[in-house]
Chain A
Amino acid sequence: MKTHTVSHFAKWQRWRAGRPWLGSCLAAVLAWAATVFSGQGQGSGELLTVALTFSAFTVLVSLGQMLVISVGPGNADLSIPSSIALSGAVAMLVMDGSNAMIVPGILAAVLVGALVGVFNFSLIRVLSIPPIIATLAGSLIVMSVAIAIGRGLKIKPPPLFSDFMAMRLFGIPLLAVVVLAVSIAIALMLERTVLGRSIEAVGQNDRAAGLAGMRVELTRFWAYVICAALAGLAGALISGFSGGNSLDQGQEYILLTIAVVVIGGTVVSGGAPCVPGIWSAAMFMFLLVAMLNAAGAGPGLRMLLTGLIIIGVIVAASSPGKR
């Protein structure tokens, strides 16, 4: 029989290749440490709590973006900000300040999001418009609906909903626990359901996936619908967190979600999503801004450094695993 001597380096390389989130995780820890050591008054624990709260929103929408990016080259959902604006308005309208209507309000927001997903996918599939154009153009229509039904008014969330959003369990925001549960559900879906495996397969080679008996277009449909539904959920939660809905509450999430997905180690060309990386990259993106603020960088310098550091993290995270 052959005897195989596995060098430690090769072992390490394999271990490393199976954990694409490692780079962003390390970067997040470094950014956190740098902020704490710069000693701007905030305690390290408090900083983490705030980071968890804001990252939770980012994670929620980025998980959806991750699924969409994973179904193949050219797929991305650029309608996320509009979905968040529309679903936030719908949630606040349905709740109308009443504690009893919190659950229906959230469900309505998720449903509206899902409908936006169906709309996006039908533009892509039926009219065969490239996804980036379809979701971008679709987002203008969705946004105008949000303007029409919200009439630019800010409706306050029910008091109980606001309390929930601010609640902490042993110092950990309740919101982060909820989003963690959603993340675990998505990870389970990817690893152990036919839909999850289909998402990975379709993203790698849609022709082979079809020949292996998978429903290629149905898989893509679900990726877009889940993505938009998660954006819908995020829209309701953001409105509850920030004391009412607004049209620009989701504005930052186009580039942020794509950056988080890529930094988190998900393969941009599709087929290999990475859930833990979404968390570490979202934390990193928040802590990076916090670190630069703590260091007293002005807005111009902050943007410049953010750009450079993102490039650096992506380069550092991708080079060793390359074939």
Chain B
Amino acid sequence: MINSIPEMLFEARDTAKAFAAVQALRGVDFQVRRGECVGLVGHNGAGKSTLMNVLSGTLAADRGELHFAGLAVGSGWDVREAQRLGVRSVYQELSLCANLSLAENMRIAQPQFKGWNWRLAAGAQLMATLDRIFPGHGLHADQVVGELSIGRRQMVEIARAFTPGALALEVMILDEPTSSLDNQAAAQLLAYIREFVALGKSCILISHKLREIFTVTDRIVVMRDGQVVESVLTEQTSRDRVVAAMGQDEQVQENPRHVVAQTGSAEAPLVVNVSSTSAARLGVKAMAGEVIGLAGLAGHGQTTLLLRLQAGSATRAESSVWVGGATSFVAGDRQTDGVFGLWSIARNMSVGWFSQLCHRRLIDLKGEREYAEHWRQRLGLVTPDLDLPIFSLSGGNQQKVLFARALGSSASIILMDDPMRGVDVGTKRDVYALIAEEARRGRTFVWYTTEFDELFHCDRVYVFNNGEVAGELSRAELSEERVLDMSFDKIAA
């Protein structure tokens, strides 16, 4: 801090917003100073995303005042006005056009690129930002977004927002920016955020990963039930205190290293067997009741393996893939792979349960309702009514619905595609417990994750590199260094 108190840049006072029956914000006061990085934490449905939508102008608040750079902004506050003054956002749900190239997506965000060679200019600008934030990203300006993995798309989305242009850039709002990034890219982004605020710019970071919040922010704001319950300098607080303020779970998460439940016994039958195409590489095997982790950098073949297993259980599509049981898939990229937008919450769950719900080829509607209610309680879904549309839920709660869909099915093998994106700490712990319990009953989990700590919930871990298994680690052998080592090792023995 250079001169006493830094200038106040952006302030919301007594902001309230309701969606039909759901009161998302109940009179929130929130401030960002110049050159400050504010971390915003809270459980799913606490109102974080709604507050950011109000600040960035995509939602109009029902009540409250906004002040930007000392001036009150009135009812005319909308996306255009917010962008003109320099408020930019990277949302949890990605906003790139899948059918366009990187350069074209850049042009959409910043219309100043004109003339016959606008593609080159836009592409060069975007590439420059990508190089600065994510050195070694391996992307090209003429790649089409739809062909990129979700992690790469997230990198483009972030770089696009950080690219300076004709409009000012004062505040960057990052809503779960690292949820789809692997550890390396996440670390690069966090380092860049510090550079960014050092230039006198401001940043609001929403994340469920408290480690990130504590590494990068100057101040932490905790939200609960649509209200700000705490705002404190990062150096004056602790992880325990923040978790306590978030509510719901007072005790700190136990270190997963001490989880004992060793389940997969040697005699358990084999349920998954994928043989590798080249003799030098390892195949993937899973026994009944095992929790198998898939690690490595994002986009190195983990999701592909899950899709091959899913296809392999329905039809014997490939000779090298053998799956001995029904599978159910938990999508991590929930907009493309998971959610049915026109359906209610209950229908989005029951779509995975048809084999249990059918009596004489007809779906039992009463059973469907009761079962959905059962899972609502089991996962603590925050909603007044299961008949509301799925998009009335916050991102994390939508993810819970996808868990209910898979775990409530009769499938003996559950495939999880980095499913904890945007899920809060409390829910994560509940889901970890649920996974352990189901594994004890003989269910098998194949779990791709980009969060290193989650690998400690797995019995065995396969590390991926360039579409192949580069190594296998038991829980006892697991360490971040070894996983990283295998992820980068080009020629594994």
- List chain A positions with a Cβ less than 8 A from chain B: 2, 4-6, 10, 13-14, 188, 191-194, 197, 200-201, 204-205, 207-209, 211-215, 267, 271-272, 323
Q: Is B329 an interface residue (CB 8 A)?
A: yes
Nearest-CB distance from B58 to chain A (Å)?
13
**Residue pair A208, B336 in contact (C-beta under 8 Å):** yes
**Residue pair A204, B331 in contact (C-beta under 8 Å):** no
Known: A200-B343, A205-B340. A213 touches B352 (CB 8 A): yes
Which of B23, B328, B340 contacts A213, CB < 8 Å? B328
Question: Which of the 9-residue segments B169-177, B273-281, B290-298, B361-369 touches chain A?
Answer: B361-369
Q: Is B225 an interface residue (CB 8 A)?
A: yes
CB closest chain-A residue, reference B327: A213
- List chain B positions with a Cβ less than 8 A from chain A: 20-23, 225, 307, 310, 314, 326-329, 331, 336-343, 347, 351-352, 354, 358, 361-363, 365, 384, 391, 405, 409, 411
Nearest-CB distance from A200 to chain B (Å)?
7
CB closest chain-A residue, reference B352: A212
Name the 3 nearest CB pairs between A and B, nearest first: A4-B21, A10-B20, A204-B340
Nearest-CB distance from B47 to chain A (Å)?
12
The interface residues of chain B lying within 8 Å CB-to-CB of A271 are 340-342
CB closest chain-A residue, reference B226: A2
The interface residues of chain A lying within 8 Å CB-to-CB of B358 are 194
The interface residues of chain A lying within 8 Å CB-to-CB of B384 are 4
CB closest chain-B residue, reference A9: B20
**Residue pair A204, B341 in contact (C-beta under 8 Å):** yes
**Residue pair B338, A211 in contact (C-beta under 8 Å):** yes
The interface residues of chain B lying within 8 Å CB-to-CB of A208 are 331, 336-340
Known: A194-B354, A272-B342. A213 touches B22 (CB 8 A): no
Q: Give Cα distance in the complex from A14 to B384, angstroms.
A: 14
The interface residues of chain B lying within 8 Å CB-to-CB of A193 are 361-363
Nearest-CB distance from A70 to chain B (Å)?
10
10 of the cross-chain contacts (CB-CB < 8 Å) are: A6-B21, A193-B363, A197-B354, A197-B363, A208-B336, A208-B340, A211-B307, A211-B337, A213-B314, A213-B328
Q: Give Cα distance in the complex from A272 to B340, angstroms.
A: 11
Q: Give Cα distance in the complex from A43 to B386, angstroms.
A: 47
Known: A197-B351, A200-B343. A4 touches B362 (CB 8 A): no
Nearest-CB distance from B150 to chain A (Å)?
13
**Residue pair B20, A205 in contact (C-beta under 8 Å):** no
Nearest-CB distance from B154 to chain A (Å)?
19
CB closest chain-B residue, reference A5: B21
**Residue pair B341, A207 in contact (C-beta under 8 Å):** no
**Residue pair B20, A204 in contact (C-beta under 8 Å):** no
Given contacts A188-B362, A213-B314, 15 further A-B pairs with CB under 8 A are A10-B21, A194-B358, A197-B347, A197-B351, A197-B363, A200-B343, A204-B343, A205-B341, A207-B337, A208-B337, A211-B307, A211-B310, A212-B351, A213-B326, A213-B409
CB closest chain-A residue, reference B311: A210
Q: Give Cα distance in the complex from A112 to B79, angstroms.
A: 56
The interface residues of chain A lying within 8 Å CB-to-CB of B340 are 200-201, 204-205, 208-209, 271
CB closest chain-B residue, reference A197: B351
In this complex, which of B225, B351, B362 has the most chain A Cβ atoms within 10 angstroms of its Cβ? B351
**Residue pair A4, B338 in contact (C-beta under 8 Å):** no
The interface residues of chain B lying within 8 Å CB-to-CB of A13 are 20
**Residue pair B339, A4 in contact (C-beta under 8 Å):** no
Nearest-CB distance from A140 to chain B (Å)?
32
CB closest chain-A residue, reference B341: A204
CB closest chain-A residue, reference B388: A14
The interface residues of chain B lying within 8 Å CB-to-CB of A205 are 336, 339-341
CB closest chain-B residue, reference A4: B21
Nearest-CB distance from A5 to chain B (Å)?
8
Q: Give Cα distance in the complex from A207 to B343, angstroms.
A: 16
In this complex, which of A5, A194, A197, A213 has the most chain B Cβ atoms within 10 angstroms of its Cβ? A213
CB closest chain-B residue, reference A215: B314
Nearest-CB distance from B244 to chain A (Å)?
21
The interface residues of chain A lying within 8 Å CB-to-CB of B362 are 188, 192-193
Q: Give Cα distance in the complex from A188 to B362, angstroms.
A: 9
The interface residues of chain B lying within 8 Å CB-to-CB of A323 are 391
